[in-house]
Structure 1
């Protein structure tokens, strides 16, 4: 399992996490509007949204999507539709740049914020590409260890995501 903590994997994972995307925007928006607690809840939801990508890669869905252009397109289209929905909801409510702080900590609906973060990352095309295209490149040819190695790599990626989003 040395490949899990190889510099090439760690650097690639860090770059993917550091490139601002929908999860970062979602976490920042909730942090600005609801404070530190809302930011941590949003970051946790986004991090948990990585699990379906990792799970799909572990059960071999990555190979299926790689082999089926139609299935891969369907995942991409679903991601685009969800991003457009988020944009529409943002514009419809107060405008893209409006930040309104929560009245009190009770106004922060942690479950709804976490679910939103989870959904943001389920349909995040950056994560799909990372788990479908990049992650398998870091696996050793030893198939007996491949699942455990991929699970460990996913765990490292999730930990990096949580630290960067909260930090």
Structure 2
């Protein structure tokens, strides 16, 4: 495992994006447990993209404008949906006591969708992994799976950190309705901005 791979993975993972935003929103709204569950969901959402890259389907997605556009606009629609739900206090930032948490299955499913509906992840894996795997290696496929596993582990740990940080400041934020209102607006605006950015992404 090269130092370059680990450093590159860390930089990519900790850079705020839709997954980080969703995980922090869950931790802020419902506490540390919800943040960890959201982190797990976002991490599991990487699996289809990883599988696509490893099996070569990412090349097809990259070559097919129709497939890319379809998945891209599904992702845009979901991000806008998250923004609306956030503002309506039924989404990621609805404040609930930790004694009555949102079902883990729903949190995981939402987290998976956040990353699943991001076509750039497939292309990212397709472009990222080959840089650290020699095509001359007899077990190149196994090597790619190992590196993908490390990437997912780093993602989960980093996202848990984001979730717990959000949970740590939860008491101060939740106790101030005005602050919570502005936080909802900020998160909703961020979801919209990410949706617009994804919509403008070219294949």
Change in Cα spacing, 1:158 to 1:110, as seen in structure 2 (3 Å) is same
Out of 159, 166, 177, the position equivalent to 1:165 is 159
Corresponding residue of 1:67: 63
C-alpha separation in 2, matches of 1:56 and 1:164 = 23
Deviation at 1:8? 2.1
C-alpha separation in 2, matches of 1:99 and 1:163 = 22
Indicate whether 1:52 and 2:12 are aligned: no
CA contact (8 A) 1:22 1:124 kept: no
Deviation at 1:125? 4.6
Q: TM-score, normalised by structure 2?
A: 0.71
Corresponding residue of 1:154: 148
CA deviation string 1:44-83 (max 9, x = no partner): 1111111111111122101212332332333323222222
Out of 25, 39, 54, the position equivalent to 1:43 is 39
How is 1:16-165 mapped onto 2 (pairs within 5 angstroms)?
Answer: 16-91=12-87, 93-94=88-89, 99-142=93-136, 144-165=138-159
Change in Cα spacing, 1:100 to 1:116, as seen in structure 2 (3 Å) is closer
C-alpha separation in 1, matches of 2:153 and 2:137 = 25
Corresponding residue of 1:6: 2
**Counterpart of 1:105 in 2: which secondary structure?**
coil
- Count of aligned pairs between the two proteins: 161
Change in Cα spacing, 1:73 to 1:146, as seen in structure 2 (3 Å) is farther
C-alpha separation in 1, matches of 2:119 and 2:13 = 13
C-alpha separation in 2, matches of 1:13 and 1:37 = 25
CA contact (8 A) 2:42 2:112 kept: yes
User: Gapped runs of 5+ residues in structure 1?
Assistant: none
